[in-house]
Chain A
């Protein structure tokens, strides 16, 4: 029996983007946001790292959006969840008053204690995401149609996602268990939530992605229905000219070529593009075969990704690659 085709990313409520450092997962998260917004969705982008990167993808030098969040593009709001702020918000809600909580949270010694306490950051961050998912603009209408979380780099990503499950299995009763169970239900909901791993078509990130997919299948009940292979180089020459660099190398170096570089330089350029392309093809194929999931290829953009227009190009590729994607 063939598995059903993956649902569109646009049908999700929560997409958690993860990947090794340098794979461009933050860019992919932002591109998904732009693409979804252009199809009428109200999108929230969430960062969890210390330094915000998303605002400057939309406008160079743009200030951080912080915990309060800011609209950086029509229909796209971005924010950073600071675990201490989220903890303060949570405790104030639980206690019903915020003054003593504020006092304690600002205390340096208390913060040091919390630095050493395991697991709570992940839990409170996901708790805040759950809270945002529940928010309504008006009765029956969600504040955000799609929440895209730029999760920690893989490895940490798995710890991040298993926090609610760990709490549910370790804690028998009480409000924390109840809340963690709600968060777990969201994270593991195969309809509302998907994890989107991002990789490059190179050895290290491909191996790490294989490892991640294996771990997720065993440890965390989150749905992974596709993997993004980012920055894939295009085929460098038309079909039939695959050995172009070899042929260029056969030309006598002294051949007069006018404004063109010398044959050896032409050959070196062609050889470089061909080998890098072959490498990308090889690792993209290896990945697709080993994980048995659709791999969405995003093109390498020669001029970089640093404005809404280039994000839109990537976002369109992200949604267009699978035939099931419709608006």
Chain B
């Protein structure tokens, strides 16, 4: 096994693989393809998706929002080379319900539970507290991981502008619950005497009063009420959030950064990589999705001198297609298409070079997934993506699901 193969295997080795990336890069597809590949290697796999395309959701059997794992039929999996011991389940996350479940678990009494669930602040908090939607996805992962029913959980993170909010969310929620202003609201007497706080308190009261006057909403009352109810359960919640964080930052979790080949997407991926490193997460690799790769491998040729060879192509086309076929125009169109595609391939290689360099230097896996001609919307399509990522590994003899499809380019050894 080469160093590159080894690095690639790390995409599937942990208990949890988290796919991160900015919107529109195909995280869901890549997550599902990684999950399918792990199942083909005989593992029991769950893929947790957030917002799949309708046809992909249908293919995964998660069209209904059940918030429970649905197993894919064995026959369909066997047809794609999944051995009997392997399995693949899919779950489409209902984020609101996951957050509600959390409250139900930690609320001490039914009254507390009702007070929280009916509080207007709670109604908004999962949307308003940036990242708590994302957090509920990770909460679900933690719950499923604890059940130990799966060897691997592949997570497709929510489409969010701040793609890593879910990593910050537990901390932010805890900080909010611990913050001085919260205590001031719950127990005004507790902090009222502290020196240095008075100035702030005076100012804060003034602004909050103003907000109330301007808004005409009993905002402070709602917040106090919510926090009082939440206080009783915050210990259990705190412990749980700590557990989620430990799982995400621990050895059993690997992050896979999914990027597109365009300039913006690469820029965002570089930023994400830096932020992931800041959190102390382990980056298994980067998969650049939908890269235009020159058919047959290698660098795309410069076709500037090929104009002189058009006669040969036109003659060959005239021979095979007959005299009525506009062979000259067809030859020119074929050259234009090849030159056009070569320009795409060169552009994608150029735009991703900086990202590739950074990733290779840090010893993580870098792979380019070729753009398939058609949308991926079924299991066979996922198998083709999985094949493109993993095919060049030394596991010869496995049938290519779609002959002629270029393989993912790997780091040269």
Q: Let me know if A264 and B295 touch, CB within 8 A.
A: yes
Q: Which of A181-237 contact B (CB under 8 A)?
A: 202-205, 207, 236-237
Checking B25, B129, B213 against A116 with a beta-carbon cut-off of 8 angstroms, the contacting residue is B129
Bound form: Cα–Cα A318–B347 in Å: 25
Checking A20, A100, A207 against B203 with a beta-carbon cut-off of 8 angstroms, the contacting residue is A100
Question: From B335, which residue of chain A is reached at the shortest CB distance?
Answer: A260
Bound form: Cα–Cα A51–B295 in Å: 37
Checking B23, B312, B320, B338 against A250 with a beta-carbon cut-off of 8 angstroms, the contacting residue is B320
Checking B162, B312, B330 against A257 with a beta-carbon cut-off of 8 angstroms, the contacting residue is B312
Bound form: Cα–Cα A95–B371 in Å: 57
Question: In whole Å, how far is A157's beta carbon from the nearest beta carbon of chain B?
Answer: 11
Checking B53, B161, B210 against A21 with a beta-carbon cut-off of 8 angstroms, the contacting residue is B161
Bound form: Cα–Cα A172–B216 in Å: 8
A248 in contact with B334 given A20-B24, A115-B130, A260-B312 (CB within 8 Å): yes
A20 in contact with B175 given A91-B210, A118-B124 (CB within 8 Å): no
Q: Which of B156-214 contact A (CB under 8 A)?
A: 159, 161-162, 172, 175-176, 179-182, 199-200, 203-204, 206-207, 210, 213-214
Q: Let me know if A104 and B308 touch, CB within 8 A.
A: no
Question: From A155, which residue of chain B is reached at the shortest CB distance?
Answer: B159
Interface residues contributed by chain A, number (CB under 8 Å): 81
Q: Let me know if B347 and A302 touch, CB within 8 A.
A: yes
Bound form: Cα–Cα A232–B375 in Å: 15
Q: Let me know if A107 and B308 touch, CB within 8 A.
A: no
Which residues of A are found within 8 Å of B176, using beta-carbon distances? 112-113, 115-116
Which residues of A are found within 8 Å of B340, using beta-carbon distances? 236, 269, 273, 302
Q: Let me know if A104 and B207 touch, CB within 8 A.
A: yes
Which residues of B are found within 8 Å of A156, using beta-carbon distances? 161
The verdict on B243 contacting chain A, using a C-beta distance below 8 Å, is: no
Question: From B268, which residue of chain A is reached at the shortest CB distance?
Answer: A51
Q: Mark B323-345, 1 if CB is under 8 A from A, else 0.
A: 00110011001110110111110
Which residues of A are found within 8 Å of B125, using beta-carbon distances? 116, 118
**Residue among B159, B260, B404 facing the most chain A CB atoms (10 A cut-off):** B159
Checking A241, A248, A262, A270 against B326 with a beta-carbon cut-off of 8 angstroms, the contacting residue is A241
Checking B213, B271, B341 against A269 with a beta-carbon cut-off of 8 angstroms, the contacting residue is B341
Bound form: Cα–Cα A237–B325 in Å: 15
Q: Let me know if B306 and A49 touch, CB within 8 A.
A: no
Question: In whole Å, how far is B328's beta carbon from the nearest beta carbon of chain A?
Answer: 11
The verdict on B251 contacting chain A, using a C-beta distance below 8 Å, is: no
Checking B24, B204, B329 against A104 with a beta-carbon cut-off of 8 angstroms, the contacting residue is B204
A115 in contact with B172 given A238-B329, A302-B347 (CB within 8 Å): yes
Q: Let me know if B23 and A20 touch, CB within 8 A.
A: yes
Question: From A167, which residue of chain B is reached at the shortest CB distance?
Answer: B215
Bound form: Cα–Cα A207–B275 in Å: 31
Question: In whole Å, how far is A212's beta carbon from the nearest beta carbon of chain B?
Answer: 14
Question: In whole Å, how far is A115's beta carbon from the nearest beta carbon of chain B?
Answer: 6
A241 in contact with B375 given A236-B340, A261-B338 (CB within 8 Å): no
Checking B219, B260, B308 against A117 with a beta-carbon cut-off of 8 angstroms, the contacting residue is B219
Q: Let me know if A266 and B334 touch, CB within 8 A.
A: yes
Q: Let me know if A260 and B326 touch, CB within 8 A.
A: no
Q: Which of B238-294 contact A (CB under 8 A)?
A: 260, 262-265, 271, 292, 294
Q: Let me know if B374 and A112 touch, CB within 8 A.
A: no
Q: Which of A268-288 contact B (CB under 8 A)?
A: 268-273, 275-276, 279
Question: In whole Å, how far is B44's beta carbon from the nearest beta carbon of chain A?
Answer: 29
Bound form: Cα–Cα A119–B341 in Å: 47
Question: From B404, which residue of chain A is reached at the shortest CB distance?
Answer: A268
**Residue among A53, A116, A203, A247 facing the most chain B CB atoms (10 A cut-off):** A116
Q: Let me know if A118 and B127 touch, CB within 8 A.
A: yes
Q: Let me know if A109 and B337 touch, CB within 8 A.
A: no
Question: From B370, which residue of chain A is reached at the shortest CB distance?
Answer: A272
Bound form: Cα–Cα A174–B217 in Å: 11
Checking A152, A241, A258, A279 against B329 with a beta-carbon cut-off of 8 angstroms, the contacting residue is A241
Bound form: Cα–Cα A272–B53 in Å: 22
The verdict on A306 contacting chain B, using a C-beta distance below 8 Å, is: yes
Which residues of B are found within 8 Å of A108, using beta-carbon distances? 179
Question: From B55, which residue of chain A is reached at the shortest CB distance?
Answer: A203
Q: Let me know if B312 and A113 touch, CB within 8 A.
A: no
The verdict on B363 contacting chain A, using a C-beta distance below 8 Å, is: no
Checking B53, B294, B308, B321 against A204 with a beta-carbon cut-off of 8 angstroms, the contacting residue is B53
Q: Mark A58-70, 1 if CB is under 8 A from B, else 0.
A: 0000000000000
Bound form: Cα–Cα A108–B373 in Å: 51
The verdict on B313 contacting chain A, using a C-beta distance below 8 Å, is: yes
Question: In whole Å, how far is A161's beta carbon from the nearest beta carbon of chain B?
Answer: 15
Known pairs A100-B203, A241-B326, A270-B333; list 14 more (Cβ under 8 Å): A22-B25, A100-B207, A118-B125, A152-B161, A237-B333, A244-B333, A261-B296, A261-B301, A261-B303, A269-B337, A273-B340, A304-B262, A304-B263, A304-B351
17 sampled A-B residue pairs with Cβ under 8 A: A21-B161, A22-B22, A112-B182, A113-B223, A116-B128, A153-B23, A173-B216, A176-B216, A203-B53, A205-B24, A237-B337, A250-B321, A255-B313, A266-B313, A266-B338, A272-B292, A306-B263
Which residues of B are at the interface with A, using a C-beta cutoff of 8 A? 22-25, 53-55, 121, 124-125, 127-130, 159, 161-162, 172, 175-176, 179-182, 199-200, 203-204, 206-207, 210, 213-217, 219, 223, 260, 262-265, 271, 292, 294-296, 301, 303, 305-306, 308-310, 312-313, 316-317, 320-321, 325-326, 329-330, 333-335, 337-338, 340-344, 347, 351, 371, 373-375, 377, 404
When A and B form their complex, which 3 residue pairs have the shortest distance between CB atoms, in order from nearest?
A: A21-B23, A22-B24, A258-B309
